[in-house]
Amino acid sequence: MKTRNATMLVVGAVAFLAIGAATASGQDTTRTSRDSTARRTTTTRRTRRATTSATSETRIPVTKEATGEVAPRVDTVTVYHTDTVTVAGPMRVDTMRTTVTRYDTTRIETLPAYLIQRGGMYFGLGGGMSLPYGSLRDVNEPGWNAQAQLGWQPLHSWLGIRGDANYTMYAENQDYASLGGRPDVLTGNLDLKVGIPLFERLFGVIPSFSLYALGGGSYIHANGLRSKLEPGVPGGSGQFQAVAPGPENKFGWNAGAGASWHWGATELFVESRVIGFSPFANTDPAHHIPITLGFNWY
């Protein structure tokens, strides 16, 4: 009886030791698996950090299109990237900050001065020739003229205003040279200038082409100007009798047209006008016609 009890005691002890060894082996396997998982996670995180670091140090190549025409602008962009790594136990969040430098190129274009048109106040000079018509014809010969002007013409506006002074010296007619020296005419004119919107792109965008009309009042100062008498006036030999009345001041009118080529702050113009007035009561109306080529500067 005692032998049986001893035998059962020994068998129970052996079984208990076997169960304890199996349990210990299972616990070691779990720890080994956990350590292996942690090592793999750590290795993955280090590899990702190394890859991000290598990528962030790579610069984007920039090529300038033309020397002196590109102004570089540097923008710095900070990108935040969050990785979450789960280890047996509570969740841990790792944050990696990656800085990326981006280079942008901005083209700055400067237009040449002749492409930038200007308007507003302008000053002009010109010259050409003058023709006598009406009662001035036949007793005076064509001469030269000079002109200075000041005006206001807004850019792309059809209406402007201009004042000018025009001086003309006529040539002598040999038949009437004994009456005095060469006649001259000084006129002051104040005009409205009206643009005519036709053929503006006749010569392309630069220069812009413009037609215009102008007209207004005139003040005439004439010295030694010859004029024809009306038919039947006493003291003459017909309607071609010439007179030399000396200095005279008259009011009159003027009207004309012109064309201009405008680029930048410069304008080339050519125009012709009729300046009308009556020299004397016993003469026909006189027509003084200057033809002028010149420049305006805005």
Is domain 117-297 given the CATH code 2.40.160.20 in the classification? yes
Other CB atoms within 10 A of residue 66 CB: 7
pLDDT tens readout for residues 94-133: 555 555 555 556 666 565 665 677 889 999 999 999 999 9
Q: pTM higher than 0.75 for the full model?
A: no
Quick check: 182 and 160 in contact, CB under 8 A? no
The domain locations on the chain are 117-297
- E strands, 108-158, are 120-134, 141-153
- Name every residue whose Cβ is closer than 8 Å to that of residue 86 and which is 6 or more positions away in sequence: 41, 92
pLDDT tens readout for residues 214-273: 999 999 999 888 888 776 665 444 455 556 556 889 999 999 999 999 998 999 999 999
pLDDT tens readout for residues 22-77: 454 444 444 444 555 545 555 555 545 544 444 444 455 544 444 444 444 545 55
* One-character DSSP codes across 233-274: -TTSSSTT-EE---SEEEEEEEEEEEEEEEETTEEEEEEEEE
Among residues 74, 68, 76, the alpha carbon closest in space to that of 107 is found at 68
The two beta strands, 248-263 and 286-297, are unpaired
Quick check: 265 and 297 in contact, CB under 8 A? yes
